[in-house]
Each structure stands twice: as C-alpha cells, then as structure tokens.
Structure 1
C-alpha cells in the first residue's frame, strides 16, 4: 500500500466548512468540501490523528479504490479485484454500508449484498472458511458510495460514529449530538474565550453536552481519547506502534490540560430529573473538577464566576413540538433576553435555536447569525455581544445624565427591571385588553363571576379568544385563513402573547395557549395533554372544576352561563334532564336550585367522571343520576317523565360507542320529538347549539310552542359575538 491515502470525512450537514478548517489543522492536504463530507489526502499518521482529534467529523473513510460501474456485475467485479487478504483474515468478520443508487442498483440493501459477496468470495479458503457478517462490532467496516456511476470503496477507520464520545449514556429529551455541540462552541468563539481564561455558563444545560464539549476544548482533551475499539483495531493494515505514539501524546496533552487551574464552567437545568444524568456524564468524561451542574430556572439565571471573569453564555432552548407550547416558549426566550440584559453585561452569548422567530423576541440584537442543521431541522445560531447598544427598546433613548452632569449609561439593573418592550401592535393589543378588563371586571365583580371571556377577536388581525379563569388566562388562537401569511400570523400571536401578562398583571406561567382548527367530527373533545391539573372556579354560588391544559375545551362553556343561571332559578322541585351533558355543569346548577332529581346523559366516561366530581364538590350525589349512553338510543328506551330538559348537542358526534354519526342539522327534529315526548305536562325544554349555519326546522313550530331566546342567553362578555350560540324555549302544545 502507498504511503499516502485519499480520505473522506463525513459530518452533519452544514459543518463542512468548519470540518475542512479543523482537518487542515490536523494535517489533511488538498482539502475539498462536499455535501456532509470533505475529502483530502494524508498519510497514516494524519488518518489516525483525525480519528482521535476531530471534534466535528462522524467518520474517517480511507479510500481503497475508485471505479466506474454500469451494473451490478461491474460492482461485484470491481470489489472482487481488491487484495482483501491484505485487510481481513478469512476467519474475521465484516459489515458493509452502501449509499447512493443508480447503475442498476435500486436499493442499498442489494448493493451492500453485492459488495459483501465479492469480499467473501475472494477470501473463502479451500476448506470453505469465509468471513462472517457482524453489524455491531466487525473486524472491518467497508463503505461503498455510489455517485453518478462511480463507485468509491473505502474502509471505515472510525468504527462507531465519532460523535459517540462514550461519556453520554443518559440523554435528555432532545439532545444535541456531541459534534454539533462542538461546532456551535467553535462558531461561538469558545476556543478564543477559553484561551483567555474566560468562563462559560449554560442556563438550560439538559444533560450537559455543551459543558463537557467546552471543557474538553479548554483542557486540550482529544474528544475520542477514551474510545477503546476503533474501525482499524482488527484491520490487517493497522500500524499499532504509530497509533500508540499518537495516543500517548494525546494522553500527555490531556494530563497537562487537566493539571492547569480549571476554568469556571457551569450549567443550570430546571428539570430535576436531568441533574443526576448530567452530572454522571460529566464524571464519565473525567471533568468533575471543571464542570458543575445545578438545578435552576432561567428566570433566576445569573452567572457569578469566582474572579468576576466574563465569558460565554451558551444554550439550546427547547423548540416546542406540542400544542400550546407557543406561550411557554415565548416567555422562556423573553426571560432569557431579560437575564442576559440584567446579569450578563459584557459577556458574549450564543443561542442555538430551531425557532429563530422566537430568537427575535429576546429583546436583544444578534450581531451574527449562522445557519445549522440539527438532523433534518434547520436551525440558527445567534451570536450576541451583551452590551447596552444591543438592547432592542422600541424608540432610541437619549443617554441619561447622572448627578455630575456627565453622560452615563443607565445601570444594567435599570435597563432590565422594565418589562420587555412591546411592539406597536402588541401595545395596541395590550391597551384593548386593559380597556375590556376595566369594563368587564366591574360587571364580573358585581355578578360574582370568576371566569369570563375578556376578548374575542375584537381586532381582526389578532384572531384570539381570551378567557380569564380567576388568575389564569386561557388563549385560543383561531386558525388563520389561508390568505394570511403564516409568518405574519405567528408574529402577531407572539405580539399578543407578549402583551397578555403585562396588560393583565398575570404571571407568565399561567397563560395557556390552544389552537382552534376548523373541527371535524369529535376532534374538539380529543385529549391534548395529560397534566391532569384541575382548577376550581365559582359561578352563581356553585363550584366547578375546569382543566385548562389537557383538552381543547376546558370543561365549562362560558357562553352558557346565563342558561345555567336560568336553569338554577327554574329548577326548584323539578325533575331535570341534561342531554349531551358534558361535565354536567347545568345539572350542578339545577341541583343548587333545588331540583327534585337530576339525570345527566353523555357518551364519554371521562366527562361523566368529571361530572361526578363537579356534583360531589358541591355536596350533591344521591339524587343525581349519571348515565353513559348514546343520547338518541337512550331517549328511545327511556319511559321517565321530566319537568325541565336541557339539550346542548355537539354539531357532529361520531364515537366508537355510537351507531352512525350524529349531525345536529339533520337530526335535531328527531332529537326534539323524542325529548318532548319525555316532558311532563307543563314541562319546559331548552335547546341550544353553536353551529353557525344552524336553521331550526319550521315544522317544529307547528307541533310545539317554540320561542327563540338567544338574545336573553348572552352576558356582556359575549355581547360582541352574538353568534356564539342560539337557544330556544320549547313546550308541548
């Protein structure tokens, strides 16, 4: 074999330029960049050095041969011609990785099989001994890349991917790969800061990947120093003496690095479950003297290095995948910006984010941005110099004069104690909320209502419904029409979310956000989350349980408050029936009003359990029946009489436990005929629904006394949205 080889180094997409720079520094020559890879030429010593020292690469591939191929036979022949006995014993094991397609190879499995067959056939001995396949720890890893009719056949010197340093056995929810973390640190200028004795802090450190990689860079530790098994360990071309020399050198450098006074490197993590796994990772990396991890919230983050040295604040905030994450993430980024302004003046900061729109909400300018990929997710690295002139504060302010009359910077505390500045739109929105709060707050206090609708798309560009539940805010975002640019809609949502806590004086952690798509079937009742957090609210002298986080609806339809109060007033001594009862709030009101009995029917066991809790919370139990069943079937089988009936059906319903699909427009005549048949003489039925296009069948007025009472069933908090529901009072003639 010649003394020089062609090498390919693979890496995550977007790191090619950084890897090329690193590889040149480690001795690779004639370096060229490709997508997710670089190539160049090197001797064996450089190949080993790249394996040991590359912080950014995934694999180091040593090219054995390049050849053109038109079909699978050419592939077999080209691989078969290699002198495989120089690389692997017949009793050894191998694994083949194949990438690319074309030239008659339509899937990678077939390509890999052809390569394996060629190697095995070449090495098969007279008595039939041949290499076996071992995908986990083979003696030899062979890689073939097919690129526009050219086959590039290589040996993988790395073995397992180089990002697997061996210290990270326990991972958090969405860990950054070690080589991506190293790349972010390098881009953020950490090698320069570390060389000057600077500090590093990560306010959301997860299991500590940034911290460990930063300490390894600062202490001059080769990232793969502790790796015991390599792709070349059992390769017949391996030169153990050369490898030992390089490994000993790296060992000596690490010992010298660790003997220096450690830099101040600290991580803080809000989730207590990640603290121990993070500390375990640090310990496995041998860096317990350099890196410390503590439990701490972003909202109280304040780095305090021992010698007051400045340095780098680095973090990878969560991106948010679930419904309702927008609010908590927006406030997280706002808090982060606030803490940087307040506690990190003259530090540098690097925020690695998969949600660049949220990055803009920190109220602090980045002076540089880099594009990265985290797997398939496009990300941005925002680099910030934390200085007063980077703070985004609406209009430009004149520098204030201190007592001596000289122009002084405002103290950082003065800058930070102001709440985040709202955009012009955000400020208008805040003003509207405060105006509504002033008007409706007085009414709510007078009526002893503790939860009500504060805002309902009053300003069309802020298409939200905002409900107050005591000191919680429940926000529903209406899906924007297709004509609206989604980025604009997202920006307005963020403006509104930024305004809510300030305008209402409510803690950010008590804002819950949901998105209302146009519903199909029973999707509105599907579970969104599993926090199981119930809040007790009061209305008209009864206590009710709401759940703001787990479902799209909260368990209490606020627009039906006047209807529930009417039922409470009219229920004394009556037998009350509540159909499609949901969480049976109307039944609780009927019981409170002195109903002789209540019967509540619904198909959902979840909501009936909730109904049971609502009733027992108010001390009602024995006279209140809860029936699980399809309402139509239940009515057909029922022979009881009732004096007061309330029906508020969904627009559509299609449960697994129900025959067919209920459609309120199509089925309301049959539903009302069945229900009126159960009315006692003189009894009253209240019917309402919230289907916008609903038309009550005219024939019903011929059979029954029907009076529309929609206007009388709306409180001031729904005065702007008179189409929220329609309601009728019906009696037998």
Structure 2
C-alpha cells in the first residue's frame, strides 16, 4: 500500500474554509475546498492526527480507489478489483454508505448493495465464510461517492462522526453539534482570547456545548482523546505504534493544559431542567473544575466581578418553533443587548442566530458577520465589540454625552421608588425617545393616549383586564390587552399586500415600544400570532408553561393563562354580557352552551342563580371551568357537561330561565358528528335551545363571525332584539364588529 493517501474530510456546510485552515495546520497537504468537505494528501500519521485533533470535521475518509462508472456492473467490477484482503478479514463485518447518483444508479440503497456484493464476493471463502453487514459497529465502514461518472471509494477512518465527542449524552431541544459550536468559537476569536487569559460566559448555555468546547480548546485537550472505537481499529492497514504515539502525545498535552490554573468559564441557563444535564455533560468531559453553571435569566447573568477581566460572551439564542415565536424572542435579544451594554463593557460578544433581524434589535452593532448553516437552517454569527461607539441609540452622541447620560440614569434609578405590580393599569410615563424608531415612537404615543383615556374608565369601573389597542393604526396590526400588570399581545397576520419584511419590521418596532410606553418589564409581555382559525385550532395548546393567574371581574375571581393557548380563558369583549347575566341570574336555572372556561356561569352563580349547567366538548376547558367555579366557592349546584352541544340539547329535557350561547364560528372534532358552522347551523341551534327555555325566560346569543347574518325566519317565531351596542364597553367601542349579540325570548 502507498505511504501517502488521498483524504477527504467532511464537515457541516459553511465550515469548509475553517476546516481547510485547521487541516493544513495538522499536516494535510495540497488542501482544496469542496462542498461540505476538504481534500488533501498525507501519510497515515497525519490521517490519525486529523481524527484525533480535528474540532471541525465530521469524518476522515481515506480514498482507496477512483474509477469510472458507466453502469451498475462497472461499479461492481471497480469495487471487486480492490484487494480487500489488505483491509479486512473474510469473517469481518462492514457497513456501506453510498452517496450521489448517475450512470443508471439513482437509488443509493441499490448502489450500496452493489458495493457490498463486490466486497463480499471478493472475500468469500470456499467453506462459505464471508463478511456480514453490521450497520452500527462494523469492523470497516466503507463510503462510495458517485460524482459525474466517477466513483470515489473510501475507508471511513473516523467510524462514528467526529462531532460525537462522547460527553454530551443529554441535550436540550435544539442543541448545536459539537463541531459547529467549535467553529463558532474559532470564528469568535476564542483561541486568541483564551491564550491571553480571557474569560468566557454563555448566558443561554443550554446543556453546555459552547462551554465544554471552549474549555477543551483552552486546556489543549484533543476533542476525541477519550474515544475508544475508531473506523481504523480493525482495519488491517492500521499501524498501532503510530496511533499509540499520537495518543500519548495528546494525553501529555492534555495533562499539561489541565494542570494550568483554569480560565473563568461560566454558563447561565433560565430553564432549571437543563442545569443538571449541563453539569453531567461537563463532568463527563472531565472539566467540572474549569466550568461552572448557574440558573439565571439573561437579564441577570454576571460576567467576572473582576472589572479588569475581559473576555468573550457567546450564545446561541433559542429559535422559534411556531409561527410568531420570532416576535416573542424580541425581548430576549433586547435583554441580551442591555446586559452587554450594562455589564460587559470592553468584552467581545458572539451571537449565533437563526434570526439575524432580531440581532439588529439588541441596540449594539456587530462589526463582523459570518454565514453558517445549522443543519438546513441558515444562520448568522454576529461578532460584537462591546464599546460605546457601537451602541445604537437612535441619535448621534459623543462619548462625553453618553457618559453624562449614563450617570444621570444611575442617579434616577437609585432614587426611583418601588412601585407595586398589582395595579389595575400601568401608569402612563414618558417614552424614552432615543431608542425607538419613528414608527415605534408613533405606536408608543398611541398606546399612551389610549392608556390615559381608558385607564380612567378602568379605575372608575374597577376593570382589571381590558383591551388597550386593537389595530387602531392599520400598519400596526396588533391587539394589546392588559391583565393587571401583564400585557397580552396578539399579532394579526399581515395582509398579503404588505411585504413580509416590512410587516416584521413594524411588528418589532411596536413590540419594542410596548414596555417603554406602558412602563412594564419585558418579562410580563406575552406575544402570540392570531390568524384565521379552523376547527379546534384556536383551542390547541401553544405552550406548556401552565402558568395561571387570578384576575377579578365584577366581584368574581377568574383564572387566566396568558401563555399556553391562543386565547387566555377570558373573552374580554363579553364582559358586559357576563355582568348582565350576573344581574339577571337570581333564582334562575342558568344554561351556558359552548361554555369554554365557564366564566359566564361563575357570574351567574355570583348573581344568585338557583343552578348552572355548563356544556362544552373540551375536557381541558371543563377542567378549567371547574377550577373557576371552585375558586369562588360555587362547586355545588353547578353542573359541567362534556359533549357536542347540538347532540346534548337534542337529548336534554330540562328547562332554564336564562340561557347564554356563544358558539365558535366553525368547529369539528373526533367527539362530535359532522362539522358545526355558525352561519349554516345557527337556526337549528337556536330552535333546540329555545325548546329548553322556560316560560318567561331569556336567551342571549352572540358570536364573533364578522360576516354573520341572522336568519330572518327566527323573528317570525321568537321575539328577537339585537343588543350589540349595549354589550360593548369603551375598550371595544372602536371595534363595533368584535361581536354581535341578541336577546331572544318566546313570543307572547
């Protein structure tokens, strides 16, 4: 066999340039870049060194042969010509990976089968002994790449991918692969910073991948020093003496590096569930004396207390998993930017993001950007020097002006009184002019104007939860609701006529303005996207935080959940109808159809109803309804019924003096027959409900379908009065189409 081999090193897309530099440093010669790979030539010692020391490669492939392929038979014959007795025992195991297509071979499984057949046929013994396939832990892993009629047949020296260092047995929701994390650290300048004795902090460390990779670089630990199984371990061309020498050298370097005083490397993670997995990963890497991990939000992480210590802040903020999540991450990026400006002056920062537009909202400019791919997701690495001249304030100021402003802000902060967070409405405060765009300032002004007007009404009427803004300005298509000292924001999907980039920029401008305009902490702003809903989509769980808060309305206590569902458990626009029901319920049997969380039933019980019956198809919302009733001490004489409302009404034989129906526009479910459509089915629904209305009783019917038309024939059978205007409080007066409501009674 030749003393010099052709080698291919594969890597994630975008890392080719870095891998070329690394491989050249490790001894690879005549190195050239390819897509997701580099190619070069070296002796076996260098090949081993690349396996041991490459922080960026996925695999090290040693080329056995190149040959032309015209068809499947020529592929078979080309592989058969290799002297496989030089590479493996006849009774050994192998796995074949095939990539590419052409020459009549368009199925990779078929191509792999042909390669396997050739190797097996070459090594088959007279007694029937032959190699077998083991896809998990083979003696040899063979790779064949078919590219434009040429086959490149290689031996995979690495075995399992080199990014699998072995320390990360536990991981979070969307972790970076170890070699991608290493590439980000290298681009961020960590090797230079570490050599100068600098520190490293990751304020969103997850399970600690950046921390471990950074510590291994700083301590000069080969990334795959502890790996036991290699692709060359049972290769007959393996030279154990050379490998053992390289291992010993790497171990000696690691011992020297680990004996040095450890650098200050710290991670912070908001999710308490990830703290122990991160510590476990760090322990497995043998770096627990180098790395410490703490639980904490981005806004609270602290760099090293030693003011003279500088270093690198590096992080990979979470990616939104659902439509609209990117907007919710805005405040995370803003908090990160604020923390960098406040606590990390003179440091460097590296933000690896799948949402570069959010990176622009940190209030601090990046001086360099690099494109990366995290799997199929295009990402950017933003490199930042945390210096005042990089801060984005919205106006040009000299360093002396910035310093005076900082001192004034500190004086104001130290003198500010502590304000209780449970007020019915945030107080209107002047908006900081410098950091809002022109559009953001305009939106902030509108919020403050609304707050001044509606806040007076809310305090007078003891209304704790109300709508402050509802797409008042069409270009800012949001609904902003106040729930005590929390802000619930719903983003309406922008019309198709508006460019997505422009709509997103306006959204970010508006969201940036909300905390300032309403004087609330960003952590108390919840953001969702509302689109046209179908079926039960509006009732589907959006998150799993399970955070319920208690609010007051008309003397009753109700539970709302601002995070887990599209709706919060309390339809604010129906407040007047609920209060009307409370006033009229004394001594009456009350029926609440499509009851949702039974807030109207709670009001009826508060008003002295003889009994309440609440019907809904959703077990989740009936459980919520049960909690609402129990919270107010109304568990007795208040029935909760699970079922399809139309079917339930058809079977029910009771009478009720007061009925409330607020159905969805459209609904289907596995637990109901057919599909409910409010426009098509409202006559049948109302006829069934009126059959259950006691003599002298009242039925209130409402819905939120903007194109709804009440069937004219109903007026011939019942006394029908539209009461929409009287069911709209001032917070919904500017949106008269939020719902329509009718009072229906039997004709005398």
With the length of structure 1 as denominator, give the TM-score of the two structures.
0.95
SS of 2:31's equivalent in the other structure is strand
| Offset, 1:409 | 9.5
Match of 1:546 among 548, 552, 560: 560
Q: Equivalent residue for 1:731?
A: 745
Q: Distance in 2 between matches of 1:97 and 1:327?
A: 42
CA distance in 2, matches of 1:648, 1:86: 79
The runs of 5 or more residues in structure 1 that have no matched partner are: none
State the 1:399 CA deviation: 4.1
Q: Alignment partner of 1:610: what SS?
A: helix
SS at match of 1:82: coil
Aligned partners of 2:591 and 2:613 also within 8 Å = yes
Preserved CA contact (<8 Å) 1:573 1:594:
yes
Q: 1:573 to 1:216 in 2, by over 3 A?
A: closer
User: Does structure 2 conserve the Cα–Cα contact (< 8 Å) formed by 1:328 and 1:509?
Assistant: no
Partner of 2:30: 30
Contact kept in structure 1, 2:550 and 2:560, CA below 8 Å: yes
State the alpha-carbon separation in 1 of the partners of residues 267 and 381 from structure 2: 19
Listed one character per residue, the Cα deviations across residues 318-377 of structure 1 (whole Å, up to 9, x for unaligned) are 112146644552221111111111111111111111111111111000000000011111
CA distance in 1, matches of 2:409, 2:386: 14
Contact 1:577 1:645 in 2 (8 A): yes
- Deviation string for 1:509-548 (max 9, x for gaps)? 2222221111112221222223332222111112222222
Equivalent in the alignment of 1:177: 177
The answer as to 2:264 corresponding to 1:264 is yes
Q: Quick one: distance in 2 between partners of 1:578 and 1:457?
A: 31
Contact 1:215 1:287 in 2 (8 A): yes
Shift in Å, 1:630 = 2.4
Distance 1:467 1:197 in 2: 50
Aligned residue number for residue 711 of structure 1? 725
The 3 A distance-change label for structure 1 pair 73 and 319 is same
C-alpha contact (below 8 Å) 2:593/2:662 kept by paired residues = yes
CA distance in 2, matches of 1:124, 1:451: 79
Q: Deviation digits for residues 266-288 of structure 1, max 9, x if unmatched?
A: 22222233223322322322323
Aligned to 2:201: 201
Q: Deviations over 1:612-654 (max 9, x none)?
A: 2222222223332333332223333333332222222211222
Paired residue secondary structure (1:544)? strand
Partner of 2:150: 150
Q: How far is 1:411 from its partner?
A: 6.2
**1:292 shift after superposition:** 2.4
Matched, 1:477 2:479: no
Q: 1:479 to 1:673 in 2, by over 3 A?
A: same
Change beyond 3 A, Cα 1:228–1:163? same
Question: Whole-Å Cα distance in 2 between the matches of residues 634 and 89 of structure 1?
Answer: 73
* 2:668 corresponding residue in structure 1: 654
Q: Distance in 2 between matches of 1:413 and 1:60?
A: 56
Change (3 A) 1:289 1:307: farther
Once the two structures are overlaid, the 10-residue window that deviates more, 99-108 or 339-348, is 99-108
1:415 & 1:205 partners in 2: Cα distance? 33
Give secondary structure in 1 for the equivalent of 2:575: helix
Give SS of 1:400's match: helix
Separation in 2, partners of 1:702, 1:328: 50
Of 711, 718, 739, the match for 1:697: 711
Match of 2:294 in 1: 294
| Residue matched to 1:188 | 188
Taking a change above 3 Å as real, the CA distance of residues 450 and 51 of structure 1, as seen in their structure-2 partners, is: same
Q: CA deviation at 1:6?
A: 0.9
Q: Which moved more, 1:463-472 or 1:199-208?
A: 199-208
Structure 1 residue corresponding to 2:450, chosen from 436, 448, 459: 436
1:48 Cα offset (Å):
1.5
Q: 1:575 to 1:251 in 2, by over 3 A?
A: closer
User: Relative to 1, partners in 2 of residues 1:643 and 1:421: Cα closer, same or farther, differing over 3 Å?
Assistant: same
Matched, 1:54 2:54: yes
1:624–1:359 distance in 2 versus 1, CA, 3 Å: same
- The reply to whether residue 72 of structure 1 matches residue 69 of structure 2 is no
Give distance in 2, aligned partners of 1:597 and 1:289. Answer: 65
Partner in structure 2 of residue 84 of structure 1 = 84
- Residue among 638, 644, 656 paired with 1:630: 644
Q: Deviations over 1:653-691 (max 9, x none)?
A: 222222222222112222222322333333222221111
Question: Are 1:351 and 1:381, in contact at CA under 8 Å, matched by a contact in 2?
Answer: yes
Secondary structure of the 1:440 match is: helix
Question: How far apart in 1 are the matches of 2:355 and 2:513?
Answer: 20
1:309 shift after superposition? 2.4
The alpha-carbon distance between structure 1 residues 289 and 73, as it changes in their structure 2 partners (threshold 3 A), is: same
Deviation at 1:12, TM superposition (A): 0.5
What is the aligned partner in structure 1 of residue 500 from structure 2?
486
Residues 264 and 304 in structure 2, CA contact (< 8 A), matched pair in contact too? no
**Residue 454 of structure 1: how far off its partner (Å):** 0.8
Match among 588, 594, 598 for residue 584 of structure 1: 598
Q: CA deviation digits over 1:487-527, x for unaligned, max 9? A: 22222222222222222222222222221111112221222
* 2:695 counterpart (681, 702, 711): 681
Instruction: Name the stretch that deviates more: 616-625 or 685-694.
Output: 616-625
Distance of 1:441 and 1:401 partners within structure 2: 36
For residues 183-237 of structure 1, the C-alpha deviation after alignment (integer angstroms, 9 at most, x for no partner) is: 1111111111122222222122222221221122222222222222211111111
Counterparts of 1:12 and 1:344, CA distance in 2: 32
1:452 aligns with 2:463: no
Matched with 1:498 is 512
- Residues 315-394 of structure 1: pairs in structure 2 closer than 5 A: 315-322=315-322, 325-326=325-326, 328-394=328-394
Do the aligned residues in 2 keep the contact of 1:349 with 1:385 (CA within 8 Å)?
yes
Quick check: 1:593 aligned with 2:607?
Answer: yes
Q: Structure 2 CA distance, aligned partners of 1:257 and 1:33?
A: 32
SS of 2:366's equivalent? coil
Which residue of structure 2 aligns with residue 5 of structure 1?
Answer: 5
Matches of 1:293 and 1:679, distance apart in 2: 64
- CA 1:145 to 1:458, structure 2 compared with 1: closer, same or farther past 3 Å? same
Residues 366-375 or 217-226, more deviating: 217-226
Secondary structure of 2:224's counterpart equals coil
| Segment drifting more, 99-108 vs 378-387 | 99-108
CA 1:95–1:339: 2 relative to 1, 3 Å: same
Instruction: Identify the residue that residue 281 of structure 1 maps to in structure 2.
Output: 281
Report the alpha carbon displacement of residue 263 of structure 1 after superposing the two structures with TM.
2.1
Partner SS state of residue 634, structure 1: helix
The 1:167/1:664 distance shift into structure 2, 3 A limit, reads closer
Q: Deviations over 1:356-410 (max 9, x none)?
A: 11111110000000000111111110000110000000111244379xxxx9895
Given the superposition, is the C-alpha separation of residues 23 and 694 from structure 1 closer, same or farther in structure 2, using an over 3 Å criterion? Answer: same
Q: RMSD across aligned C-alpha pairs, in angstroms? A: 2.2
- What are structure 2's unaligned runs of at least 5 residues? 414-430
Bigger shift: residues 101-110 or 115-124? 101-110
Cα 1:247–1:363 shift into 2, 3 Å:
same
Deviation at 1:415, TM superposition (A): 12
Structure 1 partner of 2:15: 15
**Corresponding residue to 1:644 among 636, 650, 658:** 658
Residues in 2 aligned to 1:674 and 1:495: alpha-carbon distance in whole angstroms: 49
Q: Distance in 2 between matches of 1:416 and 1:76?
A: 79
| Residue in 1 that maps onto 2:522 | 508
Partner of 2:425: none
- Counterpart position of 1:518: 532
C-alpha spacing 1:601/1:40, structure 2 compared with 1 (3 Å): same
TM-score (norm 2): 0.93
- Cα pair distance change 1:19/1:694, threshold 3 Å: same
Retained in 1: the 8 A contact 2:454–2:730? Answer: yes
Q: How many angstroms apart in 2 are the aligned matches of 1:112 and 1:282? A: 39
Distance (Å, rounded) in 1 between the aligned partners of 2:643 and 2:286: 62
1:213-224 aligned within 5 A: 213-224=213-224
- Are the counterparts in 2 of residues 199 and 305 from structure 1 also a CA contact under 8 Å? no
- Per-residue Cα deviation, 1:64-114 (whole angstroms, up to 9, x for no partner): 111111111111100000111111111222111111112122221111111
1:570-581 to 2 correspondences below 5 Å: 570-581=584-595
